[in-house]
Structure 1
Amino acid sequence: MTDSEVGLSQLLRHTVVDGQGKALGRLADVIVRLRGDDYPLLTALVVRVGSETVFVPIADVEALEPDRIELASARLDVRAFERRPGEVLLNADVLGHRLIDVDLASLVRAHDVYLTRLVHAHDVYLSPTPGVWVVTGLNVHQSHWWSSRRDKGNHPVRDWRSFEALIGHQPSVLVRTSFGKLRRLKAAQMADIIETADAKEQDELLAQVHADPEFEADVFEELEEDSLSQLLKSRSTTDVASVLSRMRADDAADAITDLPQERRREVLSLLPEPHRTKVLTLLGYHNATAGGLMGVEYLALSENATIRDALEVIRTSTTEQPEALTTIYTLDSEKRLTGAISIIRALQADADLTLREIVDPEPVHAAPEDDIIDVTTRMADFNLLTLPVLDEDGHILGIITVDDALEAALPEDWRRREAQAHSSQPPLTDED
């Protein structure tokens, strides 16, 4: 429960007065303390008195209202204000600055910050102390003078916890939860945000992503070619090799291609041997062909193995690319492709059947020199989630997954499209 809510932009327009109504100065800023997933706690005001700024503890504030800021005493600490480690100034650090809208996975700008005074402790505010002021909301849309307080031009105030604020703000890094709300983002969403961030914002985002090496690799796989190339150029050879060693071999090969020749050799020498072999194999194909699109992770078993055997291999293949496990391929004694079956069909079949008894004996396939149009057309015609790429003797060189085929077929600037807004609210009716 609350008894007062006020926007920071309203407060900044008012003079600070004492209990007798005498002007003491003008509000310059509001200091809050971050508390992880809890709402930030208001701890003090910064008041400008003449040419100086002074610190006023929140305990000395009698009233904090849209039309009045009153102190309990006319006595002020005249020592100049100095920021303490980890303190956040809402005006200087948040208002007008960019932050991440985690719900919509985009960078936005804070046009107002809303403070709420609690009457009773309530789980929604995660605060055990009634009477305190906390930051509860943000307005990230430009408002106009005719907009209402709670609906800025048909854009309601949003919950503070829907955002990751203070990106690129070094003084508060140590008091923020590691990775914070960004854990809710998928790798592709984080990649999009990094690509639209400025250099300072990118540095912090990459530092946070780096805390989770597997997620970091997933993010780098989702970056556009130009962005990935620029980011890798700014990293040490050891760091580049560390990231690429966790990326899928096909994505790592694409990334290495954009490195200068000398550095390319250095990075390759630092990759683990099995991964380096896969990458070197893929570097031998043009990236606009089936060979350049394929990945070298796939599931292939003897045609004499049972359905039960295949499903157990899938169950334990926790480090493999999931998209590569949607199809089971069978091989003869010479390791040549003899059949294919989808994982769904396998799950529906008698587990004691051998793969030879149930697979499609003539699976659709591609040659490494086939172009992108041939590949995508074939996958669309036969509704394939994966397409094996074979050498002249019928051995599997790799497979193309539908996500890679789709990305290759889309226009190069498809990621730069304007995001379409999706609302969870039902459309308004005439009765509304």
Structure 2
Amino acid sequence: MSTSPNRVYAARLVGLPIFDPLGEQVGKVRDLVVTVRSDARQPRVLGLVVEVFGRRRIFVPMTRVTSIDSGQVYTTGLLNMRRFQQRSTETLVIGQMFDRQVTIRPTGVAGTVYDIGMEQARNRDWLLSRVAVQEPAKGLRRRGQTHVVEWNDAEGLARRSPTQAATHLVQAIHDMRPADAATMIHELPPERQRQVVTALDDERLAEVLEELPEDDQVAIVGALDSERAADVLEEMSPDDAADLIAELPEETATLLLDLMRPEDAKDVIRLMSYEEDTAGSMMTPEPVIVGPDATIADALALVRNPDISSAEAALVYVCRPPLETPTGKFLGIAHIQRLLREPPSTLVAGALDDSLEPLRPEDSTEQVAAHLATYNLVAAPVVDENGHLAGAVTVDDLLDHLLPENWRENLARQESPTEPRPDTRPDTRPNKVIGSEGARRG
């Protein structure tokens, strides 16, 4: 399929960096804002939803966009940092139009929208002009046939359906970091948010939940059926799951703990037994643990696990069996930098650091912060009164408890949304578009 030089597709645009005239990156494109009047009239693109520092989403009018390249977007540099608030007359292309059911008028073929193209008119307005549609899979084919048609040839784009799927929207956010995906889901209208949550698999939903404000976490888990809610909690890190369950009504919390796998529920219940804002309540019960007879090669193999955060991978904890918390006698820690300098066949015990006093489960948040700061650590062991390793506290865990409640949501709050939005009327300044992008297959 050929494309005109000034056509850009939404799925390719999302995630592109936005630069000011001096070449400084100011954010990333997260969505497009349009007004949809009818299927027959091409909608005008009002602007871009841009994520800036602090995961705040702002509105950038298309009149401020001077260049769209295949790999970047340039603006005039005059950006209003007020938080974006969607108006009732506006539609988000990625968040709301992807996965809409449409019918191609000339052929009668039905399918779902997986991409939308926009191009610039003679008056410099940007208009939605192309719709990429995928038919349902037939027979043994894993994917249905795809079509790219004129906007006017797609019927159903102006309708909002409560049964709209979220397959292609989920694909659009699949490669995002969990924190970015959480921000996108948080900003979606409630109905669309429910559709996306339903479409996400348990592991991905767990990753996103860990990054959402507490109010969103409680609302989403409360709307899930009990079996799925328990499955999602099992996929969360035990400390995050414990924090979330503690916010639920007691009856709901008890039910979900009963439905969880016993080994997962045991860790969560143990963390919930500690007083709030103590080392015990914020620690992870699953640090990297090895026995004294393990080699450095064994320890490094565990640290390479991509599911382990950089803070968790900074230390290896050496204990006598059993090697699950609470372990046998805690012997000491091995720093990752020290392990990297030693021969792989050397025993971990030879790189042991037992000079630091470990944290206790009852230590306060302030004591944990002082300990990490004093010894320049990003993680530290938590050892009980019997000398057994109970878990480990990382700087990530500490920050989550030091920052104000619902800090993720507070960080995104901005001035009153009732103030007027920047002008979105077209101007006569030339907008430069370099290259073109074809519709991405769903």
Deviation of the 1:224 alpha carbon: 1.9
Structure 2 residue aligned with 1:339: 332
Which of 230, 234, 240 is matched with 1:241 structurally?
230
Deviation of the 1:229 alpha carbon: 1.5
Deviation of the 1:392 alpha carbon: 0.8
Structure 1 residue aligned with 2:314: 326
Which of 400, 417, 429 is matched with 2:411 structurally?
417
Which of 90, 101, 107 is matched with 2:43 structurally?
90
In the TM superposition, 1:64-103 aligns within 5 A as 83=39, 89-91=42-44, 95=46, 100-101=49-50
Q: Does 1:284 align with 2:284?
A: no
**What TM-score, normalized to structure 1?**
0.60
Structure 2 residue aligned with 1:14: none
Deviation of the 1:165 alpha carbon: 2.3
Q: Give unmatched runs, 5+ long, in structure 2.
A: 15-36, 81-90, 102-111, 116-167, 323-327, 415-442
Deviation of the 1:339 alpha carbon: 1.3
Deviation of the 1:240 alpha carbon: 1.4
| Alignment length (residue pairs) | 309
Q: Does 1:182 align with 2:182?
A: no
Q: Which amino acid letter does the alignment assign opposite residue 312 of structure 2?
A: A
Q: Does 1:165 align with 2:93?
A: yes
Partner Cα distance (1:188, 1:165) in 2: 21
Would the alpha carbon gap of residues 172 and 341 (structure 1) be closer, same or farther in structure 2, given more than 3 Å must change?
same
Asked if structure 2 preserves the Cα contact closer than 8 Å seen for 1:168 and 1:200, the reply is no
Deviation of the 1:246 alpha carbon: 0.8
Q: Does 1:349 align with 2:298?
A: no
Deviation of the 1:403 alpha carbon: 0.7
Q: Does 1:293 align with 2:231?
A: no
SS of aligned partner of 2:371: helix
Q: Does 1:304 align with 2:293?
A: yes
Structure 1 residue aligned with 2:164: none
Structure 2 residue aligned with 1:227: 216
Q: Does 1:314 align with 2:312?
A: no
Structure 2 residue aligned with 1:374: 367
Partner Cα distance (1:89, 1:407) in 2: 46
Deviations 1:44-79 (A, max 9, x none): xxxxxxxxxxxxxxxxxxxxxxxxxxxxxxxxxxxx
Would the alpha carbon gap of residues 356 and 197 (structure 1) be closer, same or farther in structure 2, given more than 3 Å must change?
same
Coordinate RMSD, CA, aligned: 4.1
Partner Cα distance (1:410, 1:154) in 2: 28
Partner Cα distance (2:191, 2:405) in 1: 26
Partner Cα distance (2:252, 2:41) in 1: 42
SS of aligned partner of 1:168: helix
Would the alpha carbon gap of residues 152 and 248 (structure 1) be closer, same or farther in structure 2, given more than 3 Å must change?
closer
Asked if structure 1 preserves the Cα contact closer than 8 Å seen for 2:234 and 2:261, the reply is yes
Q: Which amino acid letter does the alignment assign opposite residue 50 of structure 2?
A: D
Asked if structure 2 preserves the Cα contact closer than 8 Å seen for 1:164 and 1:181, the reply is no
Asked if structure 2 preserves the Cα contact closer than 8 Å seen for 1:100 and 1:106, the reply is no
Which of 382, 391, 397 is matched with 2:384 structurally?
391
Structure 1 residue aligned with 2:186: 195
Q: Does 1:258 align with 2:286?
A: no
Deviation of the 1:225 alpha carbon: 1.8
Would the alpha carbon gap of residues 333 and 183 (structure 1) be closer, same or farther in structure 2, given more than 3 Å must change?
closer
Deviations 1:298-350 (A, max 9, x none): 122222322122223334x4555554232111124682111111112101112
Structure 1 residue aligned with 2:398: 405
Would the alpha carbon gap of residues 332 and 239 (structure 1) be closer, same or farther in structure 2, given more than 3 Å must change?
closer
Partner Cα distance (1:201, 1:253) in 2: 27
SS of aligned partner of 1:222: coil
Deviations 1:267-320 (A, max 9, x none): 1122123211211211211231111001111122222322122223334x4555
SS of aligned partner of 2:210: helix
Partner Cα distance (2:359, 2:41) in 1: 58
SS of aligned partner of 1:175: strand
Partner Cα distance (1:110, 1:320) in 2: 37
Structure 1 residue aligned with 2:197: 206
Q: Which amino acid letter does the alignment assign opposite residue 101 of structure 1?
A: V
Q: Does 1:359 align with 2:352?
A: yes
Would the alpha carbon gap of residues 100 and 217 (structure 1) be closer, same or farther in structure 2, given more than 3 Å must change?
farther
Asked if structure 1 preserves the Cα contact closer than 8 Å seen for 2:296 and 2:345, the reply is yes
Percent of aligned pairs sharing the same letter: 26
Deviation of the 1:375 alpha carbon: 0.7
Structure 2 residue aligned with 1:120: none
Would the alpha carbon gap of residues 412 and 319 (structure 1) be closer, same or farther in structure 2, given more than 3 Å must change?
closer
Asked if structure 2 preserves the Cα contact closer than 8 Å seen for 1:88 and 1:172, the reply is no
Deviations 1:339-363 (A, max 9, x none): 1111121011122322222211233
Asked if structure 2 preserves the Cα contact closer than 8 Å seen for 1:249 and 1:275, the reply is yes
Would the alpha carbon gap of residues 103 and 172 (structure 1) be closer, same or farther in structure 2, given more than 3 Å must change?
farther
Partner Cα distance (1:248, 1:226) in 2: 18
Partner Cα distance (1:196, 1:337) in 2: 45
Partner Cα distance (1:35, 1:198) in 2: 19
Would the alpha carbon gap of residues 296 and 324 (structure 1) be closer, same or farther in structure 2, given more than 3 Å must change?
same
**What TM-score, normalized to structure 2?**
0.59
Would the alpha carbon gap of residues 270 and 374 (structure 1) be closer, same or farther in structure 2, given more than 3 Å must change?
same
Deviation of the 1:401 alpha carbon: 1.1
Would the alpha carbon gap of residues 34 and 309 (structure 1) be closer, same or farther in structure 2, given more than 3 Å must change?
closer
Asked if structure 2 preserves the Cα contact closer than 8 Å seen for 1:294 and 1:401, the reply is yes
